[in-house]
Amino acid sequence: MATHPAARALADDCAVLEIGGETLVLTHDTMVEGVHFLSGQDLEDVGWKLVATNVSDLAAKGARPLAALLSYQLGGDDLAFLRGVQSALQHYGDAALLGGDTVSAAGPKTVGLTLIGRATHVPVPSRSGARPGDGVWISGPVGAAMLGLEALRSGSGDSTAYRRPQARLGCGQELAPLVSAMMDVSDGLLLDARRMAEASGVTIALDRTAIPIAAPEARRDEALRWGDDYQLLFSAPPEATLPSGYHRIGTVQPQGPEPLLLDGAAPAGTLGYEHG
């Protein structure tokens, strides 16, 4: 069990390590073929997405990427994968790829990346700071990745949102001094909002129709449960002056019987993607 204070009890997007007068933010994501990307998918896109998912974790902490370590299972178009990794690292501030490890193995391709960043604001935001009376906000619409995967599978339409998601790195840096809690939406808005509520010891009440979606209205409930959009979900006190462009979607309430309410009731069914 990771008991060091930097691990934040494994209840946050990243580890936060204070060392040598610096505050470092560290994260690691793994992607598995058939789970996080399609079998036979362009490996350049897979390399991009691997970096972007890690950068999104840093964005939720208001951190700036510094360096990366790569774990890669050889096989297929290895050079295309590396091109995707390098182009994404350059896109998000030119973090240095310092090395890592490669392995030859049978079975679904598995890739991983450790990303090291530097905090731009201290204290570094966590999931656990939401307080009753705060507003609940999101950086943009959800549901685009859902449509992107459908387009990729069908071979028709725009699949960019699924293949090459965009981490909200600049948003995270401008929000870090203003928020009470922040995390990225990777597994579904409803599930991740519940996680923030549980970490903070509060109830989060969301207004279903206030949540911006990138899908048709008839698919709103799916969009609220679908992951891979990497928007930032955050809470902020009433007195905070937020930049324009963010969407208020609810309110933090004192802890009640349910950690998450949607239009006043606990949402039914699966809330998002659960890992194992």
> Which CATH number is 26's domain given?
3.30.1330.10
- Decide if 259 contacts 198 (C-beta within 8 A): yes
The whole domain housing 227 covers 135-262
Q: Does a structural domain hold residue 194?
A: yes
Verify that 157 and 254 share a domain, yes or no.
yes
How many domains does the structure of the chain reveal?
Answer: 2
Using DSSP's 3-state secondary structure scheme, residue 180 falls into: coil
Residue-averaged pLDDT of the chain: 94
Please compute, for residue 99, the number of CA atoms within 13 A of its CA located in the half-sphere on the CB side.
1
Verify that 145 and 250 share a domain, yes or no.
yes
Verify that 243 and 143 share a domain, yes or no.
yes
Q: Does a structural domain hold residue 268?
A: no
> Which CATH number is 142's domain given?
3.90.650.10
Verify that 168 and 226 share a domain, yes or no.
yes
Neighbours of 151 (CB within 10 A): 17
Lowest mean pLDDT of 36-40, 49-53, 60-64, 177-181, name the range.
Answer: 36-40
- DSSP percent split of the chain into helix, strand, coil, nearest 5: 30, 30, 40
d(CA 202, CA 103): 44
Verify that 18 and 113 share a domain, yes or no.
yes
The yes-or-no verdict on residue 10 having pLDDT over 70 is no
Peptide bond preceding 165: is omega within 30 degrees of 0, i.e. cis?
Answer: no
Model confidence over 70-126: pLDDT tens digits? 999 998 899 999 999 999 999 999 899 999 999 998 889 999 999 999 999 999 999
Instruction: Show which of 84, 119, 154 is a domain's final residue.
Output: 119
d(CA 66, CA 23): 12
Q: Would you say the pTM of this structure is higher than 0.75?
A: yes
Model confidence over 180-219: pLDDT tens digits? 999 999 999 999 999 999 999 999 999 999 999 999 999 9
pLDDT category, 4, cuts 50, 70, 90?
low
Q: Does a structural domain hold residue 129?
A: no
- Decide if 158 contacts 169 (C-beta within 8 A): no
Verify that 139 and 113 share a domain, yes or no.
no
Lowest mean pLDDT of 4-18, 156-170, 215-229, name the range.
Answer: 4-18
The yes-or-no verdict on residue 276 having pLDDT over 60 is no
pLDDT of residue 12: 78
Verify that 41 and 157 share a domain, yes or no.
no
d(CA 208, CA 219): 12
Q: Does a structural domain hold residue 272?
A: no
Q: Does a structural domain hold residue 128?
A: no
Verify that 162 and 66 share a domain, yes or no.
no
pLDDT of residue 13: 81
Verify that 115 and 200 share a domain, yes or no.
no
d(CA 92, CA 114): 15
